[in-house]
Structure 1
Amino acid sequence: MMSGLKILGWIINAILYLVVIALWISIPDELKLCLSITVVTLILTIVMVVLDRERLAVIYESSQFTNFAQAFTAGILLFGILGMLNYFAWKNPIQWDVTGNNTYTLTDQTIKIVKNAKEDMRFLVFAKRVEFNQIKTLTDLYFFEKNNIHREYIDVETRPDLVSSNNVLKSPTIIVEYQGRREHVTVLNELSITNAIKKLSLGKLPMIVFTTGHGEASLESEENEGISHLGGILKNSNYNVVQMNTATTKNIPQEAEALVIWGPRQGFRKDEVQRIDEWVAAGGNLIIAFDPDLNGEKFPELKNILLKRGIYVSNDLVVDRLKHVNGSNGTVPMVDRFNSTSPIVKEFRGPIFFPLVSSISKVKGELEGTFTTVVSSMPFPASWAEKSNAEVIEGKVVFTQGKDTPGPITLAATWEGQSSRVSVFGNSTFLINTYKKFGENFIFFSNALNWTIEQDVLISFNLPVVKQEPVFISKPQLGIIFYFSVIVAPLTMFGLAFMFYRRRAVL
């Protein structure tokens, strides 16, 4: 009876060792589970050795065990040497990319930027577990060039606490950490990651100036109508965010990368407008957002700055009957029509929404520059720009031929001159704290900010041209490949194995 229990104990112990190996291979991140099963298995082994010590003592004293111990020790030493070689190979990896267009090789620009970053770097990867392997393939390319990049993978489905504490707005996201600063990467490709590393390598934080004193949304207000959530995102993205009242400040700082006028409610004085216009003309970058005002136009002088550059922001209301937020009667468009030629939305899919938005259009301006539509509504008859405030107030908006403007309507646009960039939005409230859970809105603004201040450091790479060299295989050739790989090769290997077995038996 006791002998049978001992045999059962050894069988269970052996099964537990197999389970331990499987756990460490399949789910190494679950440390508590893996360690607990490992400890239980080792304790059971010690218990079995104590209980079965008499039979084991006989085995220990046998010549077979002595030979086994010598072979086992030699094996441990061999695996130790191989482990050290593997560690050095892992710390100093080498790979050969044999693809015709260097698909699995970083560009020369990226390699230079990565190697110039001397200190340790960390990649925090927030994604679903099923996405880890695909993302690892990309991050491996950076690790091959810089072996002091430390990578940590966090499952967004099991660690929502870390997602919230790290201000992760979408999955997958890579947070690049370098020199105590962070940059969020939401578009997972080489260009986006390299831009983040380049930005973190710069010594000075870009200064972004937000105007105050005209009823703009407050970066400090945590109320629903404030934009403190946006302010937190900007600070976490390594921007030096400054608030300034242009009515009481004589000059806009020359070191400012951009001036942001976000949803003013009161008009600007002429001297303020003049200072802003002169600052932009001298090479300053401008980000500006207006909201529709049913009480009439309040910012004619401020909008003249845009008119000089061929941008007209109308005081109307864009209606989209096809794609809008439920219950909005079409006045809160849900937008997913992006201009893929714009760097701001080249890899952006949305959707985003604008709660009451004005139309933006291209006109003939005094200054030369390039006007680009970034976001637009659906084509007519789904959308149009409603010009009648009376219809809006009554809640009976209908398209009036000859008065309203048929869609598609531009909702956000950019202008690029010789020395300055301008980003214009027909709505500002899409970034208020009420909508802080709608991450796509904030990612869209961050992309626009990066473009405006030219922090999209690398617009493109000098990628090699992909050679189109298709391989055509005939049906007989496919048959040869199939039969050789499935039948001939296995039978040949089996035959060789059987032949060697018989030879050893004879000897």
Structure 2
Amino acid sequence: TVKAFFREGNYGRGQMEDLLKIYAYHSPKIKFEFIDPDKNPGLVKRYEIAQDGTTIFECGDEENRITASTEEDITNAIIKVTREKKKTVYFLEGHGEASIEESGDDGYSFAKDELGKMGYEVKKISLALSESFPQDCSLLVVPGPKKDLLPNELDTISRYLKGGGRVFFMVDPETAPGLPPFFAGLGFKLENDLVVDTISRLFGGDYFMPVVSDYEDHEITRKFRYASFFPYARSVELVEPKPEGVNSNILAKTSPNSWAERQLELKTAKYDKDKDRPGPISIAAVATIKAEELKKEDPAAKPEETKPEEKIEPASPAVRPDGRIAVFGDSDFVSNRYYNLSGNGNLFLNTVNWLSEESDLISIQPKTSSPRTIQLTPSQGRLIFFVSVIILPLLLLVLGLSVWLRRRSL
């Protein structure tokens, strides 16, 4: 249920009412009512309303309140009160990864905040001295390691995946050279290359920022209608034949005008049909990994009391969920600098929701509003200054003088 405390003259009431009607139309479970704080002091005291325009969302024992009238805030509030259990996303650190606490261009604070809005708890983790994951880990994100993971860390992640765990790898070009052999065993092929896309110029980027506007059919991208940009990305292909127990799929490919540049030592990128690989190039893929069976032990059974002639029935295996993994050939696309660029942030959230089996969140993501900024070079700034401050006023002055002189001569 939704209780909206709005005075009759509150300008935000109409917007909130329109949005709630849309939500109620799509879900009969949503019931809402508007309450005038001036006419209902008892409810104001009961719910401790301190600000006009407060909306309270209730579901069972859960409660969340907002003071804004936007689609994003309403969606986030519904998500928070309807989640049965708060899932935890861990970001790996210790290999040069950017931090979720970093608010600069290279950090992941935007991604952390958006995950929090969707009801996730976000934490940091180091696996160097650990052989297992915390019990509350729903997903491990590996955001662009600059150095290789230690062998024991890879073993821990491998066991986690085969036990039904979920991992999201983002691996940049020319980093962590020890990871491709690890991925090969999971059905992915990562080459030492760099994706070049000439069509990126049409979207205002350079050749090293491949753009993806057409996606493969998958639950993550089925209703996705945004272009995504991947600054400085590598290719992510599938191993054929697929390893046993692995079901892998390509998620995103670049345009046919792109190629995978394999001659990274060159100063300029130029397509060489004998050495480079022509597009479209895959830069993101996902897979499900069949979990290993875990046999249940019968604590009441005592081996010493078993008679030789008795037939012992094998223990029934415990059912484990399949592991899920996503591998992207770039980590910058979800950094603070590019998170709000077109569909980058939404693609990241869709992937997280699929990995953590929150598929219902894939279709109801909030429309995040963010400041629109234009990045100008010094020369562009000077040109705009001279045109708008000097040239245009000067033209108007000349035009005005000419009109005045003409009228005076009549």
TM superposition score normalised by structure 1: 0.52
Q: CA deviation at 1:361?
A: 0.7
Counterpart of 1:384 in structure 2 is 259
Q: Does 1:362 align with 2:238?
A: yes
1:452 and 2:355 matched: yes
- Report the 3-state secondary structure (helix = DSSP H, G, I; strand = E; otherwise coil) of the residue aligned with 2:259: strand
Question: For 1:303, which of 155, 180, 183 is the aligned residue?
Answer: 180
Tell me, what secondary structure is at the counterpart of 1:338?
coil
Answer yes or no: is 1:440 the counterpart of 2:338.
no
Return the offset for 1:275: 1.0
Q: Distance in 2 between matches of 1:383 and 1:422?
A: 26
Residues 199 and 457 in structure 1, CA contact (< 8 A), matched pair in contact too: no
Aligned match for 1:422, one of 325, 345, 349: 325
Residues 423 and 143 (structure 1), Cα distance of their counterparts in 2 relative to 1, 3 Å cut? closer
- 1:458 shift after superposition: 8.7
Contact 2:228 2:344 in 1 (8 A): yes
Alignment of 1:20-31 (within 5 A): 31=9
Q: Which has the higher contact order (CA 8 A, sep 6+)?
A: 2
Q: Tell me if structure 2 keeps the 8 A contact 1:360–1:411.
A: yes
Distance 1:250 1:181, change over 3 A: farther
CA deviation after TM superposition for structure 1 residue 124, in Å:
12
CA contact under 8 A between 2:212 and 2:227: conserved in structure 1? yes
Q: Within 2, Cα distance between the matches of 1:125 and 1:407?
A: 46
Aligned equivalents of 2:258, 2:199: Cα separation in 1: 7
The Cα shift of 1:432 comes to 1.4
Are 2:108 and 1:230 aligned? no
Cα distance 1:436–1:422, how it changes in 2: closer, same or farther (>3 A)?
A: closer
Q: What is the percentage of aligned positions where both structures have the same residue?
A: 29
Tell me by how many angstroms 1:436 deviates: 4.3
**Counterpart among 281, 293, 300 of residue 409 in structure 1:** 281
The change in CA–CA distance for 1:454 and 1:196 in structure 2 (over 3 A counts) is: farther
Match 2:23 to one of 139, 158, 163: 139
State the TM-score, normalized to the length of structure 2: 0.64
Q: Distance in 1 between matches of 2:215 and 2:354?
A: 15
- Map 1:69-148 to 2 at 5 A: 138-142=22-26, 144-148=28-32
Displacement of 1:143 after TM fit? Answer: 6.5
| TM-aligned CA deviation for residue 260 of structure 1 | 0.8
How has the CA–CA distance of structure 1 residues 213 and 278 changed in structure 2, closer, same or farther, with 3 Å as cutoff? same
Offset of 1:181 from its aligned partner?
5.0
Letter of the aligned partner of 1:261 in structure 2? V
Larger radius of gyration: 1
Distance 1:455 1:327, change over 3 A: closer
Unaligned runs of 5+ in 2: 1-5, 36-55, 291-321, 364-410
Work out whether 1:321 is the aligned partner of 2:198: yes
Q: In structure 2, what is the Cα distance between the partners aligned to 1:150 and 1:315?
A: 59
Alignment CA distance shift 1:327-1:182 (3 Å): same
Indicate if the aligned counterparts of 2:187 and 2:248 stay in contact, CA closer than 8 A. yes
Distance apart, 1:459 and its partner CA: 8.9
Q: List aligned pairs for 1:162-201, cutoff 5 A.
A: 179-181=62-64, 200-201=81-82
CA deviations on 1:447-479 (whole Å, 9 max, x unpaired) are: 00000111114999xxxxxxxxxxxxxxxxxxx
Show the counterpart of 1:349: 225
Distance 1:258 1:145, change over 3 A: closer
Instruction: Give the secondary structure class of the aligned counterpart of 1:449.
Output: helix
CA–CA separation in structure 2 for the residues paired with 1:290 and 1:304? 13
- 1:426: how far off? 0.7
1:357 Cα deviation from its structure 2 partner: 0.6
What CA distance in whole angstroms lies between the structure 2 residues aligned with 1:452 and 1:332? 26
Q: SS of the counterpart of 1:389? A: coil
In structure 2, what is the Cα distance between the partners aligned to 1:400 and 1:214? 34
- Tell me if the contact between 1:225 and 1:434 (Cα under 8 Å) persists in the aligned partners: yes
**Among residues 179, 189, 195, which one is paired with 1:312 in the alignment?**
189
Alpha-carbon distance between aligned partners in 2 of 1:358 and 1:271, rounded to the nearest angstrom: 26
Aligned to 1:242: 123
Task: Describe the superposition over 1:271-323 as per-residue Cα deviations: whole angstroms up to 9, x where unpaired.
Answer: 11111111111111110001111xxx6332x3333211211122211111123
Residue 153 of structure 2 aligns with which residue? 272
Which secondary structure state, in structure 2, belongs to the residue aligned with residue 231 of structure 1? helix
The one-letter code sitting in structure 1 at the alignment partner of 2:158 is D
